Chains A and B, each alone.
Chain A
Amino acid sequence: MRNKKIIYHWSGRGVSAPLAAALHLGLVEPTPAGTAARKIARSLVGGIPFGRGAGKEKGTLIFLGTGKSGEKVYLLPRGKEGKLLLTLIQETARLLGEDPDTYYFIDCELCTSRQPASRKGKELFRRIEEMVLAVKEDARACAALPGP
């Protein structure tokens, strides 16, 4: 059994990755888009210290919990330019004897920033939910695979 390590990463501004991780772990109930989604997003901005920019937390890998398929869920505020950090985490894991292929990096801003700003609030929740569902499905399939 190969359990994934899912790393939801984002610039550190906004709620996309914390929201995705919370949805993944079932900490937030999926709700229809609209006012309810905006309210949840707003409360996450207030409650999670990364809502206003990564700042001193940039680069810190934050373990949030373990999913139903045994996958470990992490948050990574990476700043604007995060490619080096993702490479570094994967290569350091390899250095420490881990299988780097079990590390999955999900860019939460890639799938949530394609719509006009006016529709962002309405669409954000739905898009993140779709993304998380796909990730969870993938994690389930991966967990069923035999180990190396």
Chain B
Amino acid sequence: MRGITGAVKVIYHCYGRAHSSVVAAHLHLGNLPMAGPVSIEQLIGLAEFDRADPSQWGIPYLMGRDERGNEVYILGLDSQTPAGLRAITSLTWHLGKKDEIFLCNTLPAIGLLTRLGGFTSKKLGLTTIGRPLAAFGIILSLERLRGLVAWTKGNLSGKAGRC
């Protein structure tokens, strides 16, 4: 792995870019605390939480810039994560810009409850039940997400790659 010299584009990706990637990006940007409790209301109050629809999948969405000037994006890859990652990495390789993007999969950090909440809200359209359920699931998985974000930020200071 080579060291990153300039700012990179950090892409947190998950299934529908509505839950885990949104929370990870907000943790990265400091909009959510890296320690201490977070409430369901705080999560539901996030502008992007449980909002994205399938038409937005495959399009990186800029969430903001971190303290080092890195751009933080979220991305939904549906069930095509491996193929999507291959597409991004092969394209960046062909363009000679493979060090400009850092990919981070947030799906392994979340549990069944968030998936169930997301399914209820997005697939069944039962937002009033699904959204709080997904938020509660995120709270249960928050430490893993925080660990992932801390790991990503640590890697950004010295290494390029993907997780």
Contact = CB atoms under 8 A, between A and B. Distances in A.
A87 B80 contact: no
Interface string B83-103: 111111011101101001100
Contacts, number: 72
A85 B97 contact: no
B86 A84 contact: no
Contact of B87 (A63, A83, A85, A98): A85
A58 interface: yes
Given A79-B83, A85-B83, A95-B9, A61 B91 contact: yes
User: How extensive is the interface on chain A, given as a class?
Assistant: 20 to 34
Contacts of B83: 58-59, 78-79, 85
Nearest to A79: B83
Interface in B25-72: 57-60
A60 B60 contact: no
A76 B91 CA distance: 11
Interface string B12-30: 0000000000000000000
The 10 tightest CB contacts between A and B, nearest first, are A59-B83, A59-B86, A87-B58, A61-B90, A88-B58, A84-B58, A59-B87, A58-B83, A60-B86, A91-B59
Interface in A48-106: 57-63, 74, 76, 78-79, 81, 83-85, 87-89, 91-93, 95-96, 98
A83 to B, nearest CB: 8
B59 A60 contact: no
